[in-house]
Structure 1
C-alpha cells in the first residue's frame, strides 16, 4: 500500500486533567483497543500522557481497553508484548512511542486482520499507521528560550534512551539554541535510562559543574532526580510533554508542551468514526497550540516572549525548518 503523510489538526483535549485509573478489561463498548507502554503509566510524563489518552478514549468513545506497561525498551520484549495483545483479537493495537517502530512492523505483519498504530512513530504498512505529535517543534522553541534566558552561557539537555522522538527532540533543541544565540554552549546527554532518578541526579550535577544553569529534560520517572538536583543547586529546568511550570514553578522556567496522549486518542477516534487510514502518518504540531506549544514562566521578560512568538511564526511559515538530526558533541560522565 502506498504510504502517505497527512498533517492535520487533531482535536486537542486536556488529557492531563484526567485522573489515571485501572483499565476495566471486558467492560464498555463492543470495540476493543489494546495498548503497550514501555515504561510506567504513572511516570508523570510521556507514558502517563499516552495512558491518559487511552483512558479518554474509553470514557468518551465507549471502547473496551486493555494495556500492558513496564515493558523493556528492547525490540524482542516489545514483540512478545504486542503479540500477546494481538492474540486477544482486539480491533486495534496501539504501541505508544517510536521505540516500538520495529516491533510493530513485525507483529502487524503477523496479524494482517488487526489494525496497528505507533504513536510518535514513522512506520506504515497495509494494516499499520503512525500518529505523530511533533514535540520537536516545542523542543526547538525551548532551545531558543534557554539560549535567551541563560546567565552563564551554558545550557544542557538530558534524555535516557536513544529512540527516534528523543533524538529528534534533542536535535531540535540544539538547533533552537544555536539559532537564538550561537555563542551559547550546549551539553547534551543520553544516560541510557528514562526512569533512574539517581542517575539523572548525577548527570545534572555533572552538567551544572560545567556551568549549565538551564537543563531541558526529556525523561520519564527519572525526571524527579534532575528536578531535585536543580532545586538543590539553584538552577532551572525546562520540562517536556506536560505543563511542568504549573506543577513546580520554583524549578521549571518553561515546558516544551506536547500532549502525546492526543495521538492515542485520535487513533481510536479515527477508528471509531471510520476515518482510520492504514498506511498513513498523521501529524500535529505548532499549528494546534492546544497540542504543541512552549509554556513559559509568568516572569519571562516580554522581549523574550515576543521573540519566541516570532520564532513560532517562522516555523509555521516554513522560514525556519526544524532540524531533526544532531551531529555535535555529546556530554559524557563516569557512571
Structure 2
C-alpha cells in the first residue's frame, strides 16, 4: 500500500489495522556523506561513528557514502551530494566545512530534502549547520604546546583548507601566543589529509627546523607524522585532534578532542523529534558536556595541568576571547622559507 492509498483510506474514514499501519508506516531515511575515508582514525571516522549512532539509536533507515575526495575537491563533493539527493532521503548530513559550498548548491536543487553540514557555516530554507567548536580545544592545545616546548619552536600540520581548519589553526596559534609570545610557529597545509608520505615529510622538515611539539589536524595522513616523530627518541611530542590520541600512542602529549559524531547524532535526533530547524547554526563548545576538551598524557606536570584548567575556565567564562584568524606567514617544508598564505592557492590548483 503506497502513501496515496493510505491517505485515501484515512480520508474515507476507514481505520487501518495494526498490520496495515506497520506496513504503511514510512521510516525516515537519513544519509551521511563522508568526504574522506571513514576508517581514517580521525575526523572522517568521527563521521562514521555518528552514522553508527544514528543507525543504532534511532528508528530510521541510516546509510553513508565515503571516500569521495582526499583533497576535498568541491566539484567531486557536489556531484556526490547531488547523486545522493537523487535517491530521495529525508535528510542528508554532510561532514566537514568542505561541504559548505556543495550543500548550498544542492540544497537549492532539492528543496524537499533537509540538509545539514557538520562543522559548517551555511544556512538556508532547508539547510542548517551543526558545529562542534574544535577551536576551543585547539586553543588549549596551543597553550599546551607553548607550556611544554623546550626549543620554543612549535609546528602545525593540516591537509585541506576548509574554514573550520583555518579557524582551528588560528585558535591554536592564539593559545600558543597567549602563554608563550616568543615561540616560533611553523605552520603548513599539505593539501592532502590522508597521504602519509607528504605529511611525514612536512613533519620531518618542521623537526629539522627545531619544532619539538607538532599539532596535527589530519586524517589518515597523521600516521606519517606519528612515524616521523618516533624517529626522534622522545625529543619531539605530538598533539592530536578530534579524538583522544594520548590513548593511542605515547608520542602524544595531548589531544584537542572535538567529537563531531555527537553533532551528527544531534542533527538526526532533532529531525526525528520534529525539533530540527532550517536557516540556523547550532554549536557545542567547551564546558558543554564531554564533547570538546583537551586530554593530556600522564607525564604532563601538575603545574601545566593546573594552568590549562585555569585557562579552560577563562575561555568558558569569556575572560579570554580567542582570535579565529591567522594573519602570519606559513612555513614551506620543501624550502624552509616562510611564504605568504596566498601560496596555498598554487597548491590548490595542482590538487
Is this a same-fold pair by TM over 0.5? yes
Q: Partner of 1:247 in structure 2?
A: 248
Q: TM-score, normalised by structure 2?
A: 0.86
CA separation in 2, counterparts of 1:167 and 1:127? 26
Question: 1:23-49: CA deviations, max 9, x gaps?
Answer: xxxxxx811111111100000000000
Greater Rg, structure 1 or structure 2? 2
CA separation in 2, counterparts of 1:158 and 1:75? 21
CA separation in 2, counterparts of 1:77 and 1:141? 34
Q: Partner of 2:341 in structure 1?
A: none
Superposed, which structure 2 residues align to 1:218-297 within 5 Å?
Answer: 218-234=217-233, 235-248=236-249, 250-297=250-297
Q: Partner of 2:203 in structure 1?
A: 204
CA RMSD, aligned part only?
1.3
CA separation in 2, counterparts of 1:79 and 1:202? 31
CA separation in 1, counterparts of 2:170 and 2:217? 12
Count of paired positions: 307
Q: Partner of 2:124 in structure 1?
A: 125
CA separation in 2, counterparts of 1:78 and 1:212? 35
Question: 1:201-236: CA deviations, max 9, x gaps?
Answer: 110110001110010000000000000100112311
Q: How far apart are residue 62 of structure 1 and its match?
A: 2.2
Q: Partner of 1:143 in structure 2?
A: 142
CA separation in 2, counterparts of 1:42 and 1:304? 33
CA separation in 2, counterparts of 1:188 and 1:130? 28
Q: How far apart are residue 309 of structure 1 and its match?
A: 1.0
Structure number with the bigger relative contact order (C-alpha 8 A, sep ≥ 6) is 1
Q: Partner of 1:323 in structure 2?
A: 323
Extract structure 1 runs of 4+ deviating beyond 4 A. none
Superposed, which structure 2 residues align to 1:8-87 within 5 Å?
Answer: 30-72=27-69, 73-87=72-86
Larger CA deviation: 311-320 vs 136-145 = 311-320
Identify unmatched segments of 5+ residues in structure 2: 1-25, 336-351
SS in structure 2 at match of 1:90: coil
Q: How far apart are residue 289 of structure 1 and its match?
A: 4.1
Question: 1:217-275: CA deviations, max 9, x gaps?
Answer: 00000000000100112311000001100111x21010000001111111001101111
SS in structure 2 at match of 1:212: coil
SS in structure 1 at match of 2:286: coil
Q: Partner of 1:332 in structure 2?
A: 332
Q: Partner of 2:159 in structure 1?
A: 160
